[in-house]
Amino acid sequence: MSLTRTVATRALAIHALPPRAANAARLSLLDGLATMAAAVTLEPATRPFADMARGPGAATLLAGGTAPPGLAALANGVLSHALDFEDTFDATGMHPNAVAIPALLALAEAEGVSLTNLPTSLALACDLTCRISLSLADDPAAHGWYHPPMIGCAGAAVGAAHLLGLSPDQAVAAVSLALVQFSLTDALKRSPTSDLRAVRDGFAARAAVEGALLARAGVTGTTDPLAEAGGLGPLLTGSQLQATAFDDLGHVFHGEHVTLKLWPCCRGTHPATALGLALRAEGIAPETLAAAAFTLTPPDDMLFHPLADRQRPSSAIGAKFSIPYCFAHAWRRGAPSLAAFAGGPRNDPGTLALAAKIAMRDCAPGLKPAAHLRFADGREETRPLPAPPVLPAGTAQLSDLRAKLADCRAHAPAAARPLLGALTEDALPESLAPLLTPLRS
């Protein structure tokens, strides 16, 4: 039996979650929808997608209106990463729910699936995305690929097959039909003028939805889209996937270990942000810094390149991918909120002056991340980068997200607030329809 069919067969047989996995799925759903709703008003690059998708259809757009489920997944999916505030699987740097949430939400609404049944399919999609990333033999970036949404697409396709009640063979077809629809190159990480960094996951969400619907209609794909020659694993790394990553599928859910972000910027910037906050807490004046040079491990060199844009970001998403900006802002003004990346704070002369003093010293596998600080009085010191806050979805409580949810809700369209509010209640409502009705008009 092919690896993809083995994985699909085991995944489709799961119909209940252990408590921590259920908690993780529910909090990730709330966390993801809150960040997506805030992106409606904060990221202009997402608006053309909603304008293009809007029309008659069974699924709701968070930006208002309706669309067929595939287009709704696209328009809502571009919101997932637009603020870089969604959850992260730190072990491999994946954003496993950024594709799954918009894809499965669109399908659940279009198919009339109860909201109470959504978390199980979401947990499976998240878990498989994490497992595929753990099974890679090499870094896809070394082969020219930008892989997180590509892997997220495969996981979401199996989650969609689970939600639709497809057979294992149909689930294999869903993965194959989803993966042929798009690809992403590593160039998007280093292009400061590209909107792809913000909207990338929408393409994957649409592909997952359409792959599952086509598979249900009887369209077939290839035999083993994850592991065959030319399949996802060999394509990304030139090597086979490590099948042991799937051994405890159905017994362990990696979604429990997904980190819910407390700062709306790339997870790779968080250690530098934590260092900035530590210096601020110690009362060290940022004006006393003469220069700072960071030692990092890949792929965090992208957070310094191109250096001119990282030191003076031209866009909100550029600032969120910038160690110089995030470190400088945290040291001068405290922990970043969504407002930290708006035009005013992003162009603050003091923050930009500090960011201009910050560069990268070295970046290579195995190095210990650190910052070498040189002060105006000639004093020098090297500080290890501290570990940023870790909030695992499996053990987190709603109260842990209170400040983040309030920040997102303040920017979200008023019509989205009933949906977000319902997800904070003790029990999920059965039907999505009343919660999404305000957004449909």
Are 159 and 31 contained in the same domain? yes
pLDDT (tens digit per residue) in 248-268 = 999 999 999 999 999 999 999
pLDDT at 432 over 80: yes
Lowest mean pLDDT among 60-69, 211-220, 301-310, 427-436: 427-436
Give dist(CA 231, CA 244) in Å, integer: 18
Same domain, yes or no, for 184 and 330? Answer: no
The widest CA-to-CA distance across the chain, in whole angstroms, is 72
Distance of alpha carbon 209 from alpha carbon 318, whole angstroms: 29
pLDDT for 223: 97
Strands laid side by side in the 358-363 sheet: 358-363, 289-296, 370-375, 380-384
DSSP class of residue 37? H
Q: Model confidence over 36-79: pLDDT tens digits?
A: 999 999 999 999 999 999 999 999 999 999 999 999 999 999 99
Kindly state whether residues 65 and 125 are assigned to the same domain: yes
Any residues with CB less than 8 A from the CB of 178 and at least 6 apart, and which?
Answer: 153, 154, 156, 157, 204, 207, 208, 210, 211, 212
pLDDT at 426: 79
* Tokens representing residue 427 in the block: 């029990």
DSSP class of residue 410 equals H
- Residue 315 and residue 424 in one domain: no
- Average of pLDDT values for 217-231? 97
Instruction: Give mean pLDDT, residues 413-423.
Output: 92
Q: What is the pLDDT of residues 149-170, one digit of tens each?
A: 999 999 999 999 999 999 999 9
Residue 286: pLDDT above 90? yes
Tens digits of per-residue pLDDT, 131-147?
999 999 999 999 999 99
Task: Check if the beta carbon of residue 119 is closer than 8 Å to that of residue 22.
Answer: yes
Q: Which domain holds residue 18?
A: 3-262+392-440
Contact 166, 182 (CB under 8 A): no
- Model confidence at 28, pLDDT cuts 50, 70, 90, reads very high
Are both 308 and 325 inside the same structural domain?
yes
And the tokens for 282? 């110690």
**Would you say residue 272 has pLDDT above 90?**
yes
Q: Give the CATH number of the domain where residue 349 resides.
A: 3.30.1330.120
Q: What tokens appear for 214 in the block?
A: 């086509």
* Whether residues 217 and 301 fall in one domain: no
- Specify which residues 372 forms β-bridges with: 293, 382
CATH number of the domain encompassing residue 104: 1.10.4100.10
Domain co-membership, 235 together with 364: no
- State the pLDDT at residue 257: 97
Bridge partners, residue 379, by sequence? none
362 and 434 part of one domain: no
What's the rounded Cα separation, in Å, for the pair 313 and 311? 6
Residues 274 and 252 in one domain: no
Q: Kindly state whether residues 205 and 123 are assigned to the same domain.
A: yes
Q: For 184-211, how does the pLDDT look when each residue is reduced to its tens digit (9 = 90+)? A: 999 988 787 889 989 999 999 999 999 9
User: Mean pLDDT for the chain?
Assistant: 96
CA angle 204, 210, 213 (to 5 degrees): 140
Query: 338 and 239: one domain?
Result: no
Q: Is the pLDDT of residue 1 over 90?
A: no
DSSP 66-104: EE-HHHHHHHHHTTTTTTS-S-BBTTTTB-HHHHHHHHH
CA distance 284 to 282: 6
What tokens were used for 137? 């033999």
Number of domains in the chain: 2
CA distances from 142 to 91, 131, 184, 187, 194 (A): 18, 20, 13, 11, 21
Predicted local confidence at residue 193, as pLDDT: 82
Percent of the chain scoring above 90 in pLDDT? 90
Compute φ and ψ for 226, nearest 5 degrees: -85, -35
289 and 203 inside one domain:
no
